[in-house]
Amino acid sequence: MRKMSRFLAIAWLAPLLALGCRHPERARSAAAPPRPTQYQLHLGKSVFQAYCVPCHGDAGAGDGSNAFNLDPHPRDLSDPQFQKTKTNAELVDTIRRGGAGVGMSSLMPPWGHTLNDRQIEAVVAYVRSLKR
Ligand code: HEC
């Protein structure tokens, strides 16, 4: 009788566990990064406005007040065609190590000493949200 009830408990649990594994939230997180929270977008926006706007412009279009000094110009970060070519990890890497760290122009400064990981991930989420 004891064995029987243990078997029943397992028989009930197995389909529940299987369902849990197919939970859509988990399936999505394996493919794409999780959607940013409002808090993350808010933090990302304040980081972008404090550190990035002078070169990248208010909306990331590459038209900041300092952009005319820069050769090459920063590209339009809000361009969906551009965004498709880069993963979040690549953007994080460029921001953390700067242009020189990833074989691009050294006019893009490295931010790894100024911004922590949470701020860098938030600013990437914000840049993604600028999509035209
Ligand atoms: C002093 C000017 C300057 C500032 C400030 C600056 N950037 Fe840049 N950034 C550049 C330039 C110039 C490039 C283009 C480098 C190239 O194309 O070789 C660039 C490139 C980038 C790229 C790579 C785009 C690509 O083509 O892959 C990202 C992402 C980026 N910047 C994010 C940021 C973020 C986020 C901040 C603020 C934390 C920031 N930048 C601040 C000048 C700047």
Give per-residue pLDDT as tens, 93-104. 999 999 999 999
Region 43-59 average pLDDT: 98
- Tell me, what's the pLDDT at 87? 96
Q: What is the mean pLDDT of residues 57-68?
A: 96
Sign of CA dihedral 42, 33, 57, 59: negative
Ligand 1 probe mutation, 49, 56, 78, most atoms within 8 A of CB? 56
Whether pLDDT at 106 is above 60: yes
Say how many Å lie between the CA of residue 104 and the centre of ligand 1.
9
85 CB burial (10 A radius; 0-12, 13-18, 19+): exposed
**Closest approach atom of ligand 1 to CA 115:** 38
| Ligand 1 atom 5 nearest Cα | 52
